Structure 1
Amino acid sequence: MLHPQQFVPRPGAPDATEAVVGGYAFSATLAIQDITGLATSGVTASHIAKRLEPSAESEAILFGLSSAQAPRPVTDLGYPELFPGDPVDAWLFVSLPLLEDLGVVEANLTLDAEIAPLPGEPLPEAPWHSALSLLDDLSARLERPARQLWVTHACGAPEPPYVRAFGYRPAFREDQATFSVDAVSALPRTGAAAFDVVSGPGFAAPRTAPPGELAQFSRLLTAASADYPRGELVMDTIEWDLERIVDAGERLNDRGGAQLTGLAYAGGEIVGLCEAVHYSSDDPAVCELGLVYVLPAFRGRGIGAGLLRATLERAREVWDDLETVYCSSPADSSAAAALLTALGAEVVSSTTAWQRV
């Protein structure tokens, strides 16, 4: 049985934060690179450190699961504190939504690089048992009954140990894929909508917006939150307004991200959007697709494909070194599958959300 120790970032001890977060980021990067086989997969320590900073949207907590026990100060949550140099067998990164989903605990388990199995070897069972026990304990302490464990794995990989025994069931799966940015030339242009691509989720670039655009954009984001495939996941609808949009842009900028937002117009109204994000700390040849969404009444007209093409053509102009696009999509979405096929995309991994309520 492994014992949970909570990392507490301290502004006056940046070296400690760098050591602990760096160890977690290294293990997380190694794990995803083993799954995808891509050197550009991974996460940076700076990105994790930003996630651990206080936010109005969510609280992030990093736990180390260790086979060693020693006297330690106890954190506000009641767990022994994790210090640099403490032996860690596995990491549990926990996210607590603060605006919606107040009954949910989200988590991701990463085996430390020192004990991670080689590709094809079975997963060690002790970290999974300990992580699921910790999630049960957090759920009770925080009075958040819905537990969601997000597991990234190779396509067709066996289920992780203990999840079903602890009462978890697969609630949702998304697939991650990559494609060349040049492949967007294979997508058709469409006359069913007009397209514009602007900077930032908060429309950071100076431009003259049509009357009522903000209200339309807010309604579109709220509709996407309500309508986007989520399987059986317990998730509340996000009600978007100007303050929420501006806050999202500020958080992205603070994490070194830059976003382009493609907008599709039909009949003078915004009917679709496409997000592309580029992080300064990542490989300059890579960007990520975020939300791609078209209102149900306007689907089947090629608007999604045209919007994706317009957004990524602009991304290629703005980010000079861009070569590869990463994207995630619901595994059971026929529309997403058709787009990925047209782009010649390669599915490199899957992520399954295991849920217990």
Structure 2
Amino acid sequence: MFVPRPDHGDSAEAVVGGYAFSATLAIQDITGLATSGVSAPHIAKRLEPSAESEAMLFGLTSAQHLRPVTDVGYPELFADDLDDLDAWLFVSLPLLEDRGVIEANFTFDSKLAPLPGEPIPAAPWASALTLLDDLSVRLNRPTRQLWVTHTVNADEPPKVRDFGYVPAFREDQATFDASAVATLPGTSPCELDVVEGPGFSSRRTAAPEEVQQFSRLLTAASRDYPRGDLVMDTIEWDLARIRDAGARLNDRGGAQLTGLVYVDGEIVGLCEVVRYASGNPKVCELGLVYVLPGHRGRGIGSNMLRASLEQATHVWEDVETVYCSYPADAPAAKAVMRALDAEVVSATTAWQKY
């Protein structure tokens, strides 16, 4: 288990950098895109404590070394161990909702990662699943969710069903040219606005009751957004939580634009567009895109998406490519992706056990 201590210096940077390199290599092998990946500073920020979640990074190895034991009960991971690693397990513990859930992502170390088409080594998977089961018991989090990113038609990971996991949800990841939004409807019967920041962290002055409307909209999105069979609590949003989320995004080097759509003066939809300072300046990401059920089927979502991305390319002039994720079984999202000539580059399946 990696423990990010300030006095570790270069050793801590080497561990975080080793994981970031392996994670980037894995996703680039899947997508075939050089712009895919994750940076070491982004991983380091995720490992810092926050009110929202706690993250832990584990290295899986068959080598045995004398090491200090962490509070969780596992030997501590140092830079000297990197040559012996087979795989990594990044674990996240939600702290506000879903307190019975433990989430994890598995990644082969770059030295062991199979090339596309090669057999997948089963032993590291068995070790990771054993570790996840053990953590679930130690931390009293009985619901285990393992997120696996893969090619669209990939075989199932080895051992997951043997350990009692079943697929609970899948989302697809796609990319499209930012200029493609010009193909979406350019006029809307509704009022549209694109503001800087996550919701109401910008300098813009909100209209009366607008913050409450926005909070209700985010809560509705948490409740209604398709999640398959995943066990997930509804997030109850308020202004303090919106500001905290914005502060965390800014702390991780993220900048956000938020598209808002109004019907009769009330917010009924939102669209988030994010770019990270540590990422490729030519890339931005779509976050949450949501319209209240009673206002769907009128082109509102497409109008809002176009307005948000046009503003993004105006504010971030280097942006050329948009990354997005959406539920694999969502017909409306698929229709928009077809209109944008988006290319599905990967998929992520959430395997669950409880």
The one of 142, 149, 153 aligned to 2:150? 153
Residue 268 (structure 2) aligns with:
271
What is the distance in 1 between the residues matched to 2:200 and 2:239? Answer: 11
Query: 12, 18, 21: which one pairs with 1:23?
Result: 18
Q: In 2, Cα distance between the equivalents of 1:283 and 1:39?
A: 10
1:307-346: CA deviation from partner (whole Å, max 9, x where unpaired):
0000000000000100000000000000000000000000
Counterparts of 1:169-208 in structure 2, within 5 Å, are: 169-208=166-205
Answer whether contact 1:104 1:144 (CA < 8 A) is retained. Answer: yes
Q: Structure 1 residue 60 and structure 2 residue 81: aligned?
A: no
The aligned residue for residue 319 of structure 2 is 322
2:232 alignment partner AA: M
**In the alignment, does 2:71 pair up with 1:76?**
yes
Provide closer, same or farther for how the CA distance between residues 293 and 202 of structure 1 changes in structure 2, counting only shifts above 3 A.
Answer: closer
Aligned residue type for 1:56:
A
SS in structure 2 of the partner of residue 301 of structure 1: coil
Partner of 1:225: 222
User: Quick one: distance in 2 between partners of 1:13 and 1:143?
Assistant: 30
Q: Indicate if the aligned counterparts of 1:190 and 1:303 stay in contact, CA closer than 8 A.
A: no
| Residues 77-116 of structure 1: pairs in structure 2 closer than 5 A | 77-86=72-81, 87-116=84-113
Give deviations 1:256-295, integer Å, cap 9, x for gaps: 0000000000010000000000001111000000000000
Output the CA distance in 1 between the equivalents of 2:188 and 2:74.
59
Question: SS where residue 60 of structure 1 aligns?
Answer: strand
For 2:135, give the aligned amino acid: L
3-state SS of paired residue (1:248): helix
Letter in 1 for 2:6: P
Give the conservation status (yes or no) of the 8 Å contact 1:192–1:302: no
Structure-2 residue corresponding to 1:3: none
Q: TM-score, normalised by structure 1?
A: 0.98
* Secondary structure, counterpart of 1:12 in structure 2: helix
Alignment match, 2:340? 343
> What residue identity is the alignment partner of 1:356?
K
Partner-residue secondary structure (3-state), 1:309: helix
Of the candidates 285, 289, 293, which is equivalent to residue 292 of structure 1?
289
Alignment gaps of 5+ in structure 2:
none
Q: Is the 8 A contact 2:85 2:109 kept in 1?
A: yes
- Equivalent residues of 1:200, 1:249 under 8 A apart: yes
Partner of 2:209: 212
1:203 maps to a residue whose letter is F
1:89-147 deviations in Å (ceiling 9; x for gaps): 10000000000000000000000000001111011001110000001100100111000
For the residue of structure 1 that corresponds to 2:245, the secondary structure is helix
SS of equivalent to 2:229: coil
Three-state SS of the structure 1 residue aligned to 2:160 is coil
CA distance in 1, matches of 2:227, 2:279: 28
Query: Does the CA-based 8 Å contact 2:222-2:235 persist in structure 1?
Result: yes
Question: How far apart are 1:202 and its partner, in Å?
Answer: 4.2
The whole-number CA distance in structure 2 between the counterparts of 1:136 and 1:209 is 46
Contact 1:64–1:91 at 8 Å: present in 2 too? yes
Q: What is the CA–CA distance in structure 1 between the aligned matches of 2:199 and 2:343, rounded to whole Å?
A: 31
Shift of 1:66: 0.4
Displacement of 1:208 after TM fit?
Answer: 2.9
